[in-house]
Amino acid sequence: MADWVASGRGLRWLACLNPHSCAVSFRDPEFGRALRGADWVVPDGVGILLASRILGGSIRERVTGSDIFLHLSRRLNRVGGKSVFFLGATESTLEEIRRRMAREFPNLRVAGTYSPGFTPEFTDAEVRAMVHAVNAARPDVLWVGMTAPKQEKWIFRHGSRLNVKVACAIGAVFDFYTEKVPRSHPAFQRFGLEWLPRLLRQPGRLWRRTFVSAPAFLWRVVRSRVAGPTGHRS
C-alpha cells in the first residue's frame, strides 16, 4: 500500500475480513459485491484462518485493521510529506487521534477529520458533505471507521468520487488507537482469543457476531468442505 501511495494513480482500497463480515455478506448482496471489489482483503479474524485450514487454503497469519493502520502509518512517517484523513467516530475520538498522531507520527500530517454521525444510512446531503470534506483536504490515505458493512459499502458506492490514493475500512481501530476501547492482552491476541475480552466488555454489541454470525460462517465452511470442489456432497 505504501508503494501505491507513493506512485499509484487512482483509488485502491482495503477491507478487513472476519467471520461476522462473511456471514453478513451472505445475506447482503451489496456488501458481498463490495468485499469482492476491494483491492486488498486481509484476514482479520481467527475464524478466517480456521476456514482456510479446513478448505486447504494458504492463509496462516491473521492481519488486523490495527496492524495495517500502524504499519502504514510508520512507513509513511518515515517517508514524510504524506497526509491522512479520518472519517468516522465521534468528535472527541477524532481530536484524540489528532493529538496522538502528532506525537507518534510527526512527519505524517493529519489533513482532516470528519464525524458523520451514527445513522444506519446517510442521506444524499450527508454523503456530499463527507465526500467534499475528504476531497477538500486532499489526503493521500483515507481511514474509514464506521463499522461493517456500512464502511465498506460507503467506499464501494462513493470511491469513484474520492481524490485519494488509498482508502482503508478499519472499523473499531479508531477507538483502539485512542484507547477508548482497549485491545485485548497480547496473550489473547496470540492464541486467537482477542474476541473474548471484547465480548465480556461489550456483550450487548458483540453477542450476535460471536454466537450467531461466527457459527453460521463456520457451518457454511464445513458444508463447503464436505461438498468438495465440484459442489456435490460426497
Give per-residue pLDDT as tens, 108-135: 999 999 999 899 899 999 999 999 999 9
**CA 197/CA 215 separation, integer angstroms:** 19
- DSSP letter at 165 equals S
Q: Where are the domains of the chain?
A: 2-227
The CATH architecture to which 2-227 belongs is 3-Layer(aba) Sandwich (3.40)
What is the model's pTM? 0.88
**CA 96/CA 112 separation, integer angstroms:** 13
Angle between helices 214-227 and 46-54 (to 10 degrees): 10
Give per-residue pLDDT as tens, 53-106: 999 999 989 999 999 999 999 999 999 999 999 999 999 999 999 999 999 999
What pLDDT score does 76 carry? 98
Of the two residues 183 and 35, the one the predictor is more confident about is: 35
Q: Check: CB of residue 116 under 8 Å from CB of residue 86.
A: no
3-state secondary structure of 168: strand
